[in-house]
Amino acid sequence: MEKDEVLIKKAASGKLGLHKIQDFVDTDKAVEIRRKAIERLTKTKLEHLAKHSISLGAVTNRNIDNPIGAIQVPVGIAGPLRINGEYAKGEFYIPLATTEGALVASFNRGATAISESGGCTVRIVKEGMSRAPVFKLRNIQDSVKFRDWVNRHFYKFQQIMGEESKFLKLNEIQPFIIGKRVFLRFVCDPSDAMGMNMITIGVNKVIDFIEKEYPSAKAISVTGNLCTDKKTSAMNFILGRGKTVSAEVKIPEKIVKEKLKTTSKNIAEVCYSKNYIGSARAATLGGFNAHVANGVAAIFIACGQDPAQIMNSAMAITTAEAEGDGAYFSILMPSLEVGTVGGGTSIATQREALEILGCYGAGTPPGTNAKKFAEIVCANALAGEISLLSALAAGHLARAHAYLGRGKALK
Amino acid sequence: MEKDEVLIKKAASGKLGLHKIQDFVDTDKAVEIRRKAIERLTKTKLEHLAKHSISLGAVTNRNIDNPIGAIQVPVGIAGPLRINGEYAKGEFYIPLATTEGALVASFNRGATAISESGGCTVRIVKEGMSRAPVFKLRNIQDSVKFRDWVNRHFYKFQQIMGEESKFLKLNEIQPFIIGKRVFLRFVCDPSDAMGMNMITIGVNKVIDFIEKEYPSAKAISVTGNLCTDKKTSAMNFILGRGKTVSAEVKIPEKIVKEKLKTTSKNIAEVCYSKNYIGSARAATLGGFNAHVANGVAAIFIACGQDPAQIMNSAMAITTAEAEGDGAYFSILMPSLEVGTVGGGTSIATQREALEILGCYGAGTPPGTNAKKFAEIVCANALAGEISLLSALAAGHLARAHAYLGRGKALK
Amino acid sequence: MEKDEVLIKKAASGKLGLHKIQDFVDTDKAVEIRRKAIERLTKTKLEHLAKHSISLGAVTNRNIDNPIGAIQVPVGIAGPLRINGEYAKGEFYIPLATTEGALVASFNRGATAISESGGCTVRIVKEGMSRAPVFKLRNIQDSVKFRDWVNRHFYKFQQIMGEESKFLKLNEIQPFIIGKRVFLRFVCDPSDAMGMNMITIGVNKVIDFIEKEYPSAKAISVTGNLCTDKKTSAMNFILGRGKTVSAEVKIPEKIVKEKLKTTSKNIAEVCYSKNYIGSARAATLGGFNAHVANGVAAIFIACGQDPAQIMNSAMAITTAEAEGDGAYFSILMPSLEVGTVGGGTSIATQREALEILGCYGAGTPPGTNAKKFAEIVCANALAGEISLLSALAAGHLARAHAYLGRGKALK
Amino acid sequence: MEKDEVLIKKAASGKLGLHKIQDFVDTDKAVEIRRKAIERLTKTKLEHLAKHSISLGAVTNRNIDNPIGAIQVPVGIAGPLRINGEYAKGEFYIPLATTEGALVASFNRGATAISESGGCTVRIVKEGMSRAPVFKLRNIQDSVKFRDWVNRHFYKFQQIMGEESKFLKLNEIQPFIIGKRVFLRFVCDPSDAMGMNMITIGVNKVIDFIEKEYPSAKAISVTGNLCTDKKTSAMNFILGRGKTVSAEVKIPEKIVKEKLKTTSKNIAEVCYSKNYIGSARAATLGGFNAHVANGVAAIFIACGQDPAQIMNSAMAITTAEAEGDGAYFSILMPSLEVGTVGGGTSIATQREALEILGCYGAGTPPGTNAKKFAEIVCANALAGEISLLSALAAGHLARAHAYLGRGKALK
């Protein structure tokens, strides 16, 4: 107790760095001391941040540095959402963590429309996680020579990366030359993990090999932004990163009218004017959709994914067309970066969210849990698109916000 | 108890919709019943989701629909970060919610380098939150006529929107014509709120007025994606949305060497090869930075901001140049969408995070808290850039991940 | 004669630079000598390059340096094209310079469909030519101060630029700050000229004034690529450059069927799949059209415009919708950079092409000729869109190329 | 004579369509009659358009429809430019067709600086011309099945396309799925031709095969804008189209100072502020350069290339760095679409321009002439970059325009 007080005082006076506290006490105790120091430093009372059931001591450094507590993000359920995927089959209850009123209700409405129509079909059409270091060579001839040398050493690099983890497989190297700079985009299958960390470690080992065996290739940086990690990029939009997933559903006009309160033709008009003409005019990159980022952010936070990766993961093209007796909707998400092991997936609450979806941990066979989860994320995004486009077509988006977002009940 | 069990059974068997539960019990009880139904439906045990200190009943509908509990996201502290802003002045302890090991440590290192150099300067260079409905007119002549009519009615629209809230001020209408479609981008000052909801409500009232007074203008959708909300867009990157903020710092070479373990010249080379040549080659939109999305996502989740809005908020241009005896760093974030009232800001833990920064609630005068917060977000992003670019230059990004991300201590 | 031979020999042996020849003979003679030297140097026979009717001597330096002759580009006529513009009214015969078989025929077919439908309506919805120098200030506070100082000196700058030419009017300065760099996008009305040259000269005078009156603002470059000249940019797509023009036409189903050999529904489907879904997937910037660049390039070359400016001028959004009993088409060209005085407009053949359109030289009142020409370019682009989308819908694009492009007659 | 007058009258009164004239007289005579009819219709005198040495009759339909004459574009010579390419080796005199004063002088200056530095090195790092039809399948499962079927039939498709021309080789099919739509990007080697026509014809034959053998795949359009032809696109920027070419040169400081009138450091600063920060801020797509479009447009028009293809061909990344005792420059042009047979290459003047470069017609072995020409285009673009960046750094861009562009001699 007395020792704690001494540490708090030292930390609160700046004499002890916040990250040094854990050198003197165990990591759980350090959380408390650090929080108390912050309370004094900022003259605040951090009661609720203190009330976490997850052990922060256990994940200190692994998942968090200098922890002082936990943020609680409300999680609601949308669904059941019927999915006819290759990996996700059946009805799913989707955990969505958000503080935006009406969001879960909106995805829920879309899920109901999909489920009543027999479910949506989802397919992963491409896969591969990437990391792209940048090298400097002597000159452009050397760049070309190096590129060819790299191609000849593909299996060697595959072996080096495979030694880092049996769950890591190098599938392709995409080279990009600009004068004497060469970017090598390593594309891997990281099994059920999102994989950035293990790929980065693997790529670093390959870099060590390269610098030894091809001395004129000097690594400038283990990442040269062609990966592209956490910056919306056409590179990922076109070549894919993580999973490239597409989903579709045909909703009979009867359901469009009764459930979605509008018509297929009106939905198609909103989609055309907003998702296409509007997004074209706004010069979006991969933003040909209504609000995919809402669904991706909410399920990412619930399920321990990296929320900074929504920059690429939420790029999407949504189509909505009147077709025969109903509406045809489809969605493409070219760069969905997800995992069911590693990252934040094993934090207790995030783990439970993944368990609700039957996706926690490594799949059998390996890789299938991450694929199942990717299909669910895509299906959920489709549900959100259907709901919002319909709401806009029906003209009640604003009303929904007015009622739900301000604490009034949905009629 | 017995009644609860009946409700759980009904919900778990699908006879009672998850969102109907609260029709029979109070909203707090409904959370429990809903969670238990989900446990049965998905054969899971949701112990930790249940352990929230925040009252979900109180925020049902306002912030969450169909709640079953809360996700706990670890929050760590970076800083102190010295900021010389117009609104944020002094040393700040930055709460960052994340599950990515090494992230807080990285921002912390950047914060230290900045603070030891006397702090970074931050300025808001432009402001305005937008919502852009799309209308269909009779023909292109009508579009032009309508655009001119709208311009003449600016003050009327300003009055209508002002009546919705005394904190809402319409500043500008940016019209975009494509044939007989007209998009009107309403740009507002929503004071300390991020403002989407109140602007949407205000715009809907203007639409009502328009449809009455200019009958040939038919609103297709209250949003036509020129807003642009939650889709990375050049529209926002160029015209701005929320706050357009820029920060800079000059770090003496001594600190670069001792603290950042590299040289200004090496940092400049990494920045040039990665942030410029690499991002150009990857065809990013607004992704001329190292990892701004990491900082934005972490502070957004901690402080109750809308995480889907990082799509635009995390667009950034970072410069790093060797200059005189040190390194000059600057950052521009053109579309930072933040608020300190409304949204998730008053959830207990998020509120505490904002209080740590001295930014919770309405500012005095109104609007100053959101501005202060925007400056902090930008300064924190700058800290992250400095740290990662330096780490890459020093070649220890991978090692940092290997040690920190896997639970080992930073030496 | 003898003197000529001496000069040819000297130039062909490298002893006399190609641009020095005109120091010894008149500029027309220099063309001949230079061409002969090139014939010897490259062992070629340049018979046809020699056969120009335009006087190259007269335009040496003004329009061409080191001239050796002229390229002949075949020019064909599309039309008559009926245009209901604000400036272009009536039927126009469009001169298109191209070497691509079927191109003129395609635009001609679209023109006929438009004319038979009563003509297309065209409107200029925004105007302003831009040049954007970049400055370096002491720091970010200075950047903000400088921006405010610039705003206060707007009328002074307007006066300085107006002194350069009575046809040049500064309309707006759009400032962009990134740390200590400030880009000032000067937006002007250059009357009937495209205007780059006179604006650049005017901006340089403003820079002289700035560097004298605001010494800490150091001009790095008279252009900082925010202009943006000759690089496809969202800046121009969103803010406009030159003229922002939109056109539309409603084509009755009868004409769609008889003239365009397809149906409105099929055209709409091709437009949706190609111009929207396809262009979105390809991550185009402003490329939501079928082949606008073809029409722009052909009329630009015919009429003495700057062909490098098609980079922005050919950005376009085309819509095609089945509507009532027919097809509704519209087009938007946000950044059409044209002029009817200056540049290549007074070269004899280019002048004649402009005269065919009734657009040569300064308009009465000033500016109206350039506006008329802009409307024609836009209408012509619309004609091309209608024709190609229809051809694709009818499935005979390839056949058209097979027959026309290889010298066979169109049936 | 009398017959001619009858035809002119008929055409000038609208009784005879302009494209019908050649049904009654030979194609050369038709040019004259058509031009005279246009003179009457538009009350103009088209003296210079009439003065062409090339036979328009011979290229009617093949290269031009409804011809009335030829536009004369002045052509100047830049160089000699020393190129150390794989195909282009030695000194080249570059024919540039333009009406912009100072343009040739600028490229000439860059060429001189390169040549005096020993020449620039150029390499083609990727090749492949593309055409991408779009298909509609029954549903997404069918899309995936179809994609796999296509992959299995690659050699069959290669055979079908090979039968169209022995100079056409299918190298790769890049599939893109969005719901039930499938885009197939056929990537081919068209030898010395730019290749669009022959590839389109070949792809149409493959479509015939597909529709017969895989009946549920319905071709919507032979092009779905993923090609991408004549619309600036990230698809081409990233995957390449035509040739992906890079060039570099190291210019000693002595030459920078004497020839370019500035310093390496100043050039690097202009490049950083303009080509990187500026272009990033302007949200260009592939526009990280100074004025590559100028060089590409001028050499394209001179050499009978398709000027509408500068939309992608002029995308470029330019680097300029102070390095050791001098400046290092490099350029990347990812989507350079060129050919030395077909298109406008055999028009007499264009052919002569290609002959100046030693590039006319089919190469030995096939394909090498187009490659040589691509290397020259890239080297010339590099020359232009060096010259303009230097001029901006030296602060005399405006002066150059003032003197040269207005007919005064360069001092």
- Look at strands B218-221 and B89-97 and give their pairing: unpaired
The predicted-structure confidence for B109-125, as pLDDT tens digits, reads as follows 999 999 999 999 999 99
Closest CA to D361 of D185, D143, D191: D191
Distance from CA of D311 to the nearest CA of A (A): 17
- CATH fold, domain C75-127+244-404, is 3.90.770
User: With helix as H, strand as E and coil as C, how does chain A read?
Assistant: CHHHHHHHHHHHCCCCCCCCHHHCCCHHHHHHHHHHHHHHHHCCCCCCCCCCCCCHHHHECCCECCEEEEEEEEEEEEEEEEEECCCCEEEEEEEEECCCCCHHHHHHHHHHHHHHCCCEEEEEEEEEEEECCEEECCCHHHHHHHHHHHHHCHHHHHHHHHHHCCCCEEEEEEEEEECCEEEEEEEEECCCECCHHHHHHHHHHHHHHHHHHCCCCEEEECCCCCCCCCCCEHHHHHHCCEEEEEEEEEEEHHHHHHHHCCCHHHHHHHHHHHHHHHHHHCCECCEECCCHHHHHHHHHHHCCCCHHHHHHHCCEEEEEEECCCEEEEEEEEEEECCCCECCCCCCHHHHHHHHHCCCCCCCCCCCHHHHHHHHHHHHHHHHHHHHHHHHHHHCCHHHHHHHHCCCCCCC
Reported confidence tier of residue D408, pLDDT bands at 50, 70, 90: very low
Q: How far apart are CA D296 and CA D352, in angstroms?
A: 18
Residue keyed to tokens 């063309």: C31
Is A234 at the interface with chain C, CB within 8 A? yes
* Stretch D112-137: mean pLDDT: 98
Instruction: Please check the confidence at residue A407 and state whether its pLDDT lies above 80.
Output: no
* Chain A stretch 83-112, residues whose beta carbon is closer than 8 A to a beta carbon of chain B: 93, 95, 97-105, 108
Cβ separation of D125 and A147 shorter than 8 Å? yes
pLDDT digit string, tens, across residues C397-410: 544 445 555 544 33
Q: Are strands B120-131 and B67-84 parallel, antiparallel or unpaired?
A: parallel
Chains adjacent to D (≥3 CB pairs closer than 8 angstroms): A, B, C
- Cβ of B246 within 8 Å of Cβ of C139? The answer is no
Beta-carbon pairs below 8 A across chains A and B: 503
Q: How many angstroms separate the CA of residue B123 from the nearest CA in chain A?
A: 23
Q: Tell me if chain B has a CB within 8 Å of the CB of A354.
A: no
% of chain B exceeding 90 in pLDDT: 94
Quick one: pLDDT band at residue D14, thresholds 50, 70, 90? confident
Chain segment A304-327, per-residue pLDDT in tens: 999 999 999 999 999 999 999 999
From D100, D116, D164, D352, the catalytic residue: D100
Facing residue for D283 by CB, picked from B237, B282, B332: B237
Report percent pLDDT > 70 for chain C.
Answer: 96
Please tell me the distance in Å from B62's CA to the nearest CA on chain C.
Answer: 35
Q: Is A306 a catalytic residue?
A: yes
Q: Evaluate if residue C220 carries a pLDDT over 80.
A: yes
Task: Report pLDDT digits (tens) over C14-59.
Answer: 899 999 999 999 999 999 999 999 999 999 999 999 999 999 999 9
Quick check: C214 pLDDT over 60? yes
Residues from chain C that touch A286, judged by Cβ atoms under 8 A, are 283
Task: Answer whether residue D197 shows pLDDT above 70.
Answer: yes
* Cβ distance of A280 and C279 shorter than 8 Å: yes
**Distance (Å) from the alpha carbon of C2 to chain D's nearest alpha carbon:** 24
Predicted confidence at residue A14, as pLDDT, reads 87
Test A280 with C317 for CB contact under 8 angstroms: yes
Cβ distance of D248 and A331 shorter than 8 Å: no
Contact D282, C335 (CB under 8 A): no
| CB burial readout B297-308, b (16+ within 10 A) else e | bbbbbbbbbbbb
Scanning C34-73 for CB atoms below 8 A from D yields: 34, 38, 41-42, 44-49, 51-54, 56, 59, 61-73
**In the predicted structure, residue A408 carries a pLDDT above the cut 90:** no
What pLDDT sits at residue C14? 87
- Answer yes or no: is pLDDT of D333 > 60: yes
Lowest mean pLDDT across A291-305, A384-398, C257-271, C302-316: A384-398
Model pLDDT for residues C319-329, shown as the tens digit of each residue: 999 999 999 99
Q: What is the pLDDT confidence band of residue A395, given thresholds at 50, 70 and 90?
A: confident
pLDDT single digits (tens) C142-190: 999 999 999 999 999 999 999 989 999 999 999 999 999 999 999 999 9
Architecture label for domain C133-221: 2-Layer Sandwich (3.30)
Confidence band of B409 (pLDDT split at 50, 70, 90): very low
Within the 140-159 window of chain B, which residues sit less than 8 Å (CB to CB) from chain A?
A: none
Among chain C residues, CA nearest to D293: C308
Residue-wise pLDDT tens digits, C80-102: 999 999 999 999 999 999 999 99
B15 touches chain A (CB under 8 A): no
| Chain D residues near residue B280 by CB distance under 8 angstroms | 276, 279-280, 288, 317
CB contact under 8 A, C319 and A234: no
- Which of the following is catalytic: A306, A321, A323, A352? A306
C99 with D343: Cβ contact below 8 A:
yes
Mean pLDDT of the A272-284 span: 98
Give yes or no: D306 in active site.
yes
| Contact assignment for A246 to D331 by CB distance below 8 Å | no
Q: What is the pLDDT of residues B28-42, one digit of tens each?
A: 999 999 999 999 999
Mean pLDDT taken over chain D: 95
For residue B321, give how far its alpha carbon lies from the nearest alpha carbon of chain D (Å): 10
Is C410 an 8 Å CB contact of chain A?
no
Q: State the pLDDT at residue D1.
A: 59
DSSP labels, D135-152: EE-SSHHHHHHHHHHHHH
Model pLDDT for residues C328-368, shown as the tens digit of each residue: 999 999 999 999 999 999 999 999 999 999 999 999 999 99
Average predicted confidence (pLDDT) for chain C? 95
Q: How far apart are CA B323 and CA B264, in angstroms?
A: 8
Strands A120-131 and A67-84: parallel
Question: Does residue B134 register a pLDDT over 90?
Answer: yes
What pLDDT, on the 0 to 100 scale, is given for residue C396?
Answer: 58
Please check whether residue C289 touches B, CB under 8 A: no
Domains of chain A, by residue range, sit at 2-59, 75-127+244-404, 133-221
A-D C-beta contacts closer than 8 Å: 93
A chain contacts of residue B391, beta-carbon cutoff 8 Å: none
Q: Which residue of A237, A276, A283 is in closest CB contact with C237?
A: A283
Average pLDDT in the A115-126 region?
Answer: 98
pLDDT value for B14: 87
Average pLDDT (D127-146) is 98
- Please give the residue of chain B at the shortest CA–CA distance from C122: B140
**Interface membership of B125 toward D (CB under 8 Å):** no
| pLDDT score for D2 | 83
Could you tell me if D304 and D347 are in contact, meaning their C-beta atoms sit under 8 angstroms apart?
yes
Chain D hits for B330, CB-CB cut-off 8 Å, are: none
